[in-house]
Chains A and B, each alone.
Chain A
């Protein structure tokens, strides 16, 4: 049993982490909320004034907000679909007996370790460039007309890049979950005449369902904040065609110096993320009890 003495020292050992995180979270959070009610332009300092809900009104009725929220959500859904379905497929295949599994696994997960700026520029220049890219060369070789990916379909192209980065993550997690599946259970089901489909549906899927939930929720946190890929490829354009919420707030506050409106956007981003967070906390919390 823990003694009084060890309790006190435990508290002492935990407090630096707690205090730092508390400060890190509360101070900027309060400032963002405070700024969101101010007219605050970095270019004309000293003219800050309380404006009530004006910043929110401006941010929410700005035409780019529609694009930003649609893009944020479509990237989320698009990448999740690709990575979950693809990840389950990859994990099932990588779990089959084959030669060189270890090496293939290493090849498959490699994109996850590529820094976002490299991955953005790599796809933009070496693959999607309509003149010099690999895709353009291949299209030309087959007599086709090269396609300007980032000009014609900027958001879809970014969804492709981000999926390439996150598919390895989903694969790795789902494969880990799959490997803890009891093979004898599967064999017993097979001997009883269960088809591949029903074995997958009734045994494999329930077994990896928790891992799938974890993948969805963790990716969601990161996908809501995609930034560098947009910055180095399209700068949010053409127009606002490839602007997401994170990028829009960045433009408002650090490029247009409108701290008030940027902060209102920040508060909205926080609310959006919190809706997601509630689900994640519940699930991980349940896991702690085991």
Chain B
């Protein structure tokens, strides 16, 4: 058992870690504050900003932009589409590698990981040209495919580490009781694997939502998601801090919430199971 800690020591620790937390979070906090200010208040000194009145007008302004919803729905479609498509392909693969490991399973897994090492810029030109020639440039289906491919190794790996933790004896028992492969997957494996699949899904939605290399380079007007919408504020006209803040808050809020729920899975997913 850990030793008793004096209340004073604990109070000091608390003060220190809260300071750290607040400093790290401050930029996001400030973004949220500015999003509820008028444009002219948003560029004032920090104290004056805090004292000034509150308003929702920036959110209204961003929502009124006829195209905001388009960017948002593109983000949703691309993030969800690439994740579900990835799961569809990865679940069988991870299942097979976890429960019917062959001689080369380990090599295949490592090779899949190695594809993640390919720097995106190394294949940017061919992908761009292939997309241009096949009409996939600036389409959601094209981006769904690209993001599915770049996250596929992570999905397979993450599912694999979860599936490996399911005791194989249970599957054998089901098999001995005469369950077919389909039934085995549906009634035995799926319920046990569901938590792992859910966290894999969550992590990949986060990664796809925030992906900003392919989404910026392969889209123009039609299929651009929120990453590109926010990037359009990099060449602003007039006062735009409050509107940029409101747009940013709306772009990051859903993922922030998801991210907080998936802290633990994030560790496992992004370290390919090396740290749990």
Contact = CB atoms under 8 A, between A and B. Distances in A.
A13 B117 contact: no
B217 A250 contact: yes
Contact of A232 (B14, B130, B234): B234
Nearest to A131: B43
A254 B28 contact: no
Interface residues of A, number: 110
Given A104-B21, A280-B117, A228 B27 contact: no
Interface in B223-269: 226-228, 230-231, 233-234, 241, 244-245, 248, 251-252, 255-256, 258-260, 263-264, 266-267
Contacts of B18: 100, 104
Interface string A246-261: 1001100110000100
B108 interface: yes
Interface stretch (A21-29, A59-67, A74-82, A192-200): A21-29
A277 B97 contact: no
Query: Main SS of the interface on chain B?
Result: helix
**Chain B interface residue number, banded:** 35 or more
Contact of B102 (A10, A20, A103, A276): A10
Interface in A24-55: 24-25, 27-29, 31-32, 35
What secondary structure prevails in chain A residues at the interface with B? Answer: helix
B187 interface: no
Interface stretch (B53-61, B62-70, B86-94, B189-197): B86-94
Interface of A: 2, 6-7, 9-11, 13-14, 16-18, 20-21, 24-25, 27-29, 31-32, 35, 90, 93-94, 96-101, 103-127, 131-132, 134, 137-138, 140-141, 164, 167-169, 172-173, 176-177, 183, 187, 210-211, 214, 218, 221, 224-225, 227-228, 231-233, 245-246, 249-250, 253-254, 259, 262-263, 265-267, 269-270, 272-274, 276-277, 280-281, 283-285, 287-288
